[in-house]
Structure formats: structure tokens, C-alpha cells
Amino acid sequence: MKRRRTIRVCIVVASMDILGGQAIQAQRLLEGLSLESGVEAELLPINPRLPGPLRLLQRIKYVRTLVTSIAYIASLLARFPRFDVVHVFSASYFSFVLAPAPAVLIAKLYGKPVLLNYHSGEAEDHLRRWPRTSLPIIRLADRVVVPSDYLVSVFAKFGIKAERVLNTVDLARFRFRERRELSPVLLSNRNLERHYNVECTLRAFSIIQDNMPNARLIVAGDGSERNWLREVAVTLGLKNIEFLGAVSPEDMPALYDRASVFVNASDIDNQPLSIIEAFASGLPVVTTNAGGIPDMVTDRETGLIIDRNDHEAIAESVIRLLSDNTLALRLASRAGEASHKYTWASVRRDWLRHYSELSRHEIALIERVESSSARI
């Protein structure tokens, strides 16, 4: 029989110093769990800040990776013994080896149950190309949780059972605004990495600008392709384009409010928070069909879906929305309704069940009246 007491959960993930979807999701999880009387959760960062003068070492290339890894492993060894469940966020490839793998191994060394929370849309390629460093570690986890049905099916191909718990957004932070007259202001909010194919968005914008000279494009995000994408913009002769770099989560709601259409051209993806946030902000969405996106966007109902790496189709879809306000309003309205399933109220039972089952301690589920903002 399960005993009832507070369950202590250690959430292993990048801190907000590494701005990305996993860090934001971990923060949302911590905020949600803080409302639950049966759970105490703490974050253990994979990128700990070194104290005092030692922090200077984290500014030196290569040395940074070494000293941060040593500090990270030391914190795993020191802190894991006092937790009941270890919840490890995971990405792919070398990142998996550096961060989730040591956390899983050390947790099992201490006999702690492990929940591996895998988020990357690159999962299938990772598991196929890196089987020796990925599959044995993943199979050590007591439970694998992913945010999409797409990743559930990917893991099934490798004989691994995964369960879905959706990503969440704080709808109260975003203002659903009905745009009865669309101005040609487009927003791209993806990291500037090759698999997100922001170059495709730029090429689409070139066509859009030829048809609508006053069109504007806001590019939020940073990454390894920063300089290359700026060169592409110059080569294409793009005007009215803003490269904002990394934007803090606190500033994103205002940025969505400035825009009229959200554009995503990713080649590899899972369940992007940016699309959910666009839904919650009343932005009609044009997106590729990469990875798990068709599980969250229904073509011609909650957005317009096109094939990957087809900048002409993206341009055509954006121009269609800007020319057909009735269509844009209908898509945005239905997307706004769909955004409500990505809330803490919708997923809390799943997380509490996982922690309860893994720790073998019962959590008293306290029903709460959630104040959901009226949007539509």
C-alpha cells in the first residue's frame, strides 16, 4: 500500500542561462508543482555557475565544458541522496552524453527511480546513429515521458515504451487579441540553428515583400547561424527585417502582440512552445509538417501546414492569410481554443501520478478551480 507523504523531486535540466524550450518547460513544471501540497521539487542545473573567481574559467572555450561538467557531476553526487524521484530533461546527441547520461547513471547508483523526460525532435536520428550511448542509458530509466504522440511512436520503433505528457504554457501571460485587420507583420521565434531552417522563412519573406512592399519580419532567437542568416537577408535584399537575438520569456508576450502572422519553417521538430504561444496570442500560424507539429496543428482548422523546405508554399500561405481576414480569424479562434489543453491544469494529474508511482508514495490530489482567461 502506498504511504502518503511529501515526495521530493529533483528536476535536472539546463537553467535559464541557456535559453530554450527545456529550461522554460522546467520552470513551468516547478511553478505548477509549487501549488501541490504533496510534492517538493528543486531544480539541479546541468550548467551550474562556478563560485567566485572560478567563474572566469567558464568564459574559456573548451575549459568551460570541462569545469562545468566536473561541477555538474559533483552536484549530482552531493544532492541526489535526499530525493525520492529524479526527473531528467533530455535532448539528443552529444548533449545527451554530457547531461542526461551522468544523471541517469548516478541516480541508479543511489537506487533512485528515474523519469527521463525526452524533448528533442531529433530523437529518431539520435537513437539510430548513437545506439551504444543512447539506448542502454534510456533503458535504465524507470519511465520515459515525452511531450508528443510523435515521440511516443519514435521510441516504440526502438522497443522503448514512452508516455505522453504535453508541454504547457501560462496562458495568463499571453493576451489573445483578435486581429480583424491583419497588418503584414510576421514573426519567427525559433533558435537560429540549421534544423529550424530560418533561412527558408527569409526566402519566403522575399516573395512576400515583392507582393507587399510594406511587409515586416521580426526574427527572435539566436544560434550558430546568426551571421549566415544576416548575410542571406542582405543577399536577398530584404528590407523591414529585425534580428532581435535571444528574447527573454518575459518579453515574448509583447512581441507576439506586435505581430499578425506566426511563421515556422523547421525541418526537424517536436512540439514547439512558440506555436502554442502563438495560438494563445491570437496569431494565425503557418508552419511546416516537421515531426510532431501535425499532432498539434490541424491544417486549415488551427493553422496552415506546408511541406518542409518549401519557401514558395510558405509565402503563398502567408499572402493567403493576409488577403483573407475571415480565414485568418477562423484559424486563430480555433487555435486559441486548442491552446487550453497546454496548461498546468491539464497535465498536473499525469505528473503527480508518475511521481506517486515511481516513489511508491501516495499524493493527495487536491482539486483546484483554475482561473482560465476568457480568450475567444
What is residue 369's predicted lDDT score, i.e. its pLDDT? 46
In a domain, 177, yes or no: yes
- Which among 217, 196, 109, 165 has a CA at the least distance from the CA of 349? 165
Q: Does some domain include residue 200?
A: yes
- Is 279 domain-assigned? yes
Please report, for the domain that includes residue 203, its CATH number: 3.40.50.2000
3 state SS of 172: helix
Report how far residue 118's alpha carbon sits from residue 84's, in angstroms, rounded to the nearest whole number.
Answer: 20
State whether 70 and 35 are in the same domain. yes
365 phi and psi angles, rounded to 5 deg: -80, 115
Question: In the chain, how many domains are there?
Answer: 2
Predicted pLDDT of residue 114: 98
How many other CB atoms sit within 10 Å of the CB of residue 320?
Answer: 13
pLDDT at residue 294, as a whole number: 96
Residues 333, 351, single domain; the answer is no
- Classify residue 160: in a domain, yes or no: yes
Determine contact, residues 22/89, Cβ cutoff 8 Å.
Answer: yes
- Quick check: is 222 in a domain? yes
Contact partners, residue 96, CB within 8 Å, separation at least 6: 90, 126, 130, 133, 134, 137
Quick one: 335 and 352 in the same domain? no
Candidates 181, 189, 173; CA nearest to 223 is: 189
How big is the chain by its Cα radius of gyration, in Å? 21
Please check whether residues 196 and 295 belong to one and the same domain.
Answer: yes
- pLDDT digits over 160-202, tens only? 999 999 999 999 999 999 998 889 999 999 999 999 999 999 9
Specify the amino acid at residue 193.
Answer: E
- Please check whether residues 154 and 212 belong to one and the same domain: no
For residue 172, the tally of other CB atoms under 10 A from its CB is 12
Same domain, 334 and 282: yes
Burial class (CB in 10 A: 0-12, 13-18, 19+), 310: middle
Shared domain for 164 and 287, answered yes or no, is: no
The answer to the question of residue 231 being in a domain is yes
Q: What pLDDT, in 10s, does the model give residues 221-234?
A: 999 999 999 999 99
Residue 370 lies in a domain: no
* Full domain range(s) for residue 233: 171-339
Examine the domain organization and report whether 250 and 148 are in the same domain.
no
* 48 and 65 inside one domain: yes
pLDDT, mean of residues 31-55: 88
pLDDT higher than threshold 70 for residue 58: no
User: What distance in Å separates the CA atoms of residue 171 and residue 276, rounded to the nearest whole number?
Assistant: 10
Residue 181: the pLDDT is 86
- The Cα 226–Cα 228 span in angstroms is 6
In the prediction, which pLDDT does 21 show?
84
The predicted pLDDT at position 232 comes to 97
Q: Are residues 15 and 135 in the same domain?
A: yes
278 touches 293 (CB < 8 A): no
Q: Which residues, at least 6 apart from 78, have a Cβ–Cβ distance to it below 8 Å?
A: none
Q: Is residue 369 part of a domain?
A: no
My answer on whether 177 and 108 are in the same domain is no
**145 forms bridges with which residues in the sheet?**
117, 163
Q: Are 179 and 256 in contact (CB under 8 A)?
A: no
Q: Are residues 70 and 14 in the same domain?
A: yes
d(CA 110, CA 370) in angstroms, rounded, equals 38
pLDDT score at 375: 45
Whether the pLDDT of residue 143 is over 80: the answer is: yes
